[in-house]
Amino acid sequence: MLNIWPPLPLLVYACDLEILGMDNTIAALERSDRVREISINMSGPQSEKVWKAMEEPFPELTFLELESTNELGPVAALPNSFLGGSAPRLQTLILYDVPFPGLPKILLSAANLAELSLGTDYPSGYISPEAMVTGFSALTRLERLFLGFGSSIPRPEKESIHLPPPTRSVLPALTRFKFKGASEYLDHLVARIDVPRLNDFSIIFYDHPDLHLPHLVQFIRRTPYSKAFEKAHIAVYFGSSVIVNLSSQTFDCGQLNLAILDTVEPQISSLTQVCTSCLPALPALEDLHIHGHRFGSMHVDQQSYIENHQQWLRLLRPLIYVKNLYVSEGFVPSVVSTLQGLIGGRTTEVLPVLQNIFLEGLQPSESVQEGIGQFVASRQLTRYPVTVSFMDNVPENDRYHEF
C-alpha cells in the first residue's frame, strides 16, 4: 500500500504496537529515506524486530523517541549498527529504558542535536561519565540535556572522582540541564564539561550526597549566574524530600534546583548536608525562604534537640548576605529558638546583616514571642537592628513542582 503514496515525509508514531500492528510499523521504517520522525513504545519481545528495521541510515530523521513498556522484560540493547551508525540531521533524541552502549559513538555524528534525554533503571543502560562526555564533544548545538539513572545503575569508582579533572568538553549552546541519579556520577560528569550559557540546572539525588562533591561545587561556580542568586527557597518534607531552589531575576531568570527525593526521614541535617556539599558561596543571596513540615511535630529527645540547633547554625552561618528571612509556620519554633540562643555577644554570629524576619502565623505561641523578642532586643544594640512581622502565610515557590 505504501507504494502508491507520494514521496512525502513519513512520521512513525506507535504508542501501542499491538494495536497499530508490527507489520505496518516495520513497513514504514523500511522507507528510511523518507522517515522524518519516530516515536515508538514497545515491549521486550517487539524490540529486536524494530531494531532490525532501523539498521539502515535515516538521512531525513530529525526526531527520535524510543520507550520500553517494561512488559515481558527489558528491550534488547540497540546495536552499534543502529541508524547506520550516523544521525546527521537528528535534532531530538529521547530514550527511556532503551539501553544503547554505542550511544557516545553515534552522538559524534549528531552535530545538529538540540535535545538529548536518557532515562533508565537497568544496569545494561549504564554509560560511564567518561564515555558520555566523549559523545558530548561534537554537540555544539545541544540546548537541553536530561539524564536520569535509577538506583540500580552502577556508580563510578569513588577513588577516581577526586583525580584532577582532564581537559573539559564545552557545550556552548546548553541552557538547560536536568540530572537524576547518584551524586558520584554527577560529580564525575561535570568535572569534564563546561556550559557557558547554562541558566537552568536541576539536580535530583535518590541518595544522600557524599559529604564532599568538589567537582559539582566548581561546576556550579563556573556557571554564569552562580554569583547572581538573590533568592533561596529551602524545604524539608518529612518522609518525602529535601529541596533547595536558588533563583536570579537579574540574570535571564537563571535558577538552580537541587533535591534529595524518597528519603525515609529527612531532617535539618539532610538539608544542611545538601547545601554544604553541593553549593558554593552565594554572595548575592538576600532573600531566604524556609518551608516544609515541622520537625517539632515529632517527639525528640534532648540530644536531638541540641543537634537540631547545631545543624540550623551550620546551615545559616555561611549566608552572611541575607537581609530578609521568611519562615513557614512549621519551622518557626525551631528557627526562633535557634536565634534566641544567639543573644548577647553572639547576636550577629549568623545572618549578620539581617533586616527583616517574616514569621508565618498570626497568633504565635508565648515561647515564640518571648524568643524572637529577646533576639530583636539584642540586635537593637548592634549596627543591624531587625524588624519582625507575623504573616497569614509565607509565599512558597511553585518551582518545587517542576521536579
Beta pairing, strands 115-120 & 10-14: unpaired
Contacts of 236 (CB under 8 A, 6+ apart): 242, 243, 266, 267, 268, 270, 271, 292, 293, 295
- Give phi and psi for 205, each to the nearest 5: -100, 135
- Residue 144 parent element (H or E): strand 144-149
Grid cell 507520494 in the structure block, residue: 6
Planar angle of CA 123, 129, 135, nearest 5 degrees: 105
List Cβ neighbours of 254 (8 Å cut-off, separation of 6 or more).
Answer: 199, 200, 223, 224, 225, 228, 229, 247, 248
Please say if the pLDDT value at position 25 is more than 80. yes
255-261 and 241-247 beta bridge pairing: antiparallel
Q: What is the spatial distance between Cα 386 and Cα 393, in angstroms, rounded to a whole number?
A: 20
CA–CA distance, 228 with 255 (Å, rounded to integer): 10
How large a percentage of the chain has pLDDT more than 90?
A: 43
Q: What is the pLDDT of residue 23?
A: 84
Position 20 scores a pLDDT of 61
Cell numbers describing residue 240: 518525602
Residue 45: predicted pLDDT: 79
* Bridge partners for 324 per DSSP: 287, 356
DSSP 3-state assignment of 188? Answer: helix
Contact between 105 and 80 under an 8 Å Cβ cutoff? The reply is yes
More confident residue, 178 or 121: 178
CA atoms within 13 A on the CB side of 309: 13
Residue 162, pLDDT above cutoff 70: no
Cell for 290? 524556609
Residues 6 or more apart from 17 whose CB is under 8 A from it? 25, 40, 41, 42, 43, 46
**DSSP classification of residue 58:** -
CA angle 332, 338, 344 (to 5 degrees): 130
Q: 117: helix, coil or strand?
A: strand
Strand locations in 319-384, DSSP E? 324-327, 356-360
> Among the listed ranges 246-260, 290-304, 330-344, which one has the minimum average pLDDT value?
290-304
- 3-state SS string for 195-220: CCCCCEEEEEECCCCCCCCHHHHHHH
80-109 tens-digit pLDDT? 999 999 999 999 999 999 999 999 999 999
Q: In the prediction, which pLDDT does 391 show?
A: 87
Q: How many CA within 13 A on the CB side of residue 207?
A: 15
Report, in angstroms and rounded to the nearest whole number, the Rg of the chain calculated over CA atoms.
Answer: 26
Cell digits of residue 135: 559523545
Q: What is the tens place of the pLDDT at every residue in 336-347? A: 999 999 887 888
| pLDDT for 239 | 60
Check pLDDT > 60 for residue 221: yes
User: What CA–CA distance (Å, rounded) separates 218 from 216?
Assistant: 5
Position 236 scores a pLDDT of 77
Note the pLDDT of residue 297. 42
Q: How far apart are CA 172 and CA 91, in angstroms?
A: 16
pLDDT of residue 65 exceeding 70, the answer is yes
Burial of 292 (0-12, 13-18, 19+ CB in 10 A): buried
At 304 the pLDDT is 47
Residue 326, pLDDT > 90, answer: yes
Calculate mean pLDDT across residues 315-344: 90
Residue 44, H or E segment: helix 44-53
pLDDT of residue 374: 94
- Structural domain spans, the chain: 228-252+262-403
- pLDDT at res. 6: 62
pLDDT tens sequence across 385-400: 999 999 887 666 655 5
* Residue type at 244 in one-letter notation: V
Confidence of residue 299 (pLDDT cuts 50, 70, 90): very low
Average pLDDT, the chain: 83
387 or 281, greater pLDDT: 387
State residue 195's pLDDT score: 94
Q: DSSP of 146-176, one letter per residue?
A: EEEE-TTS----HHHHTSPP-PPEE-TT--E
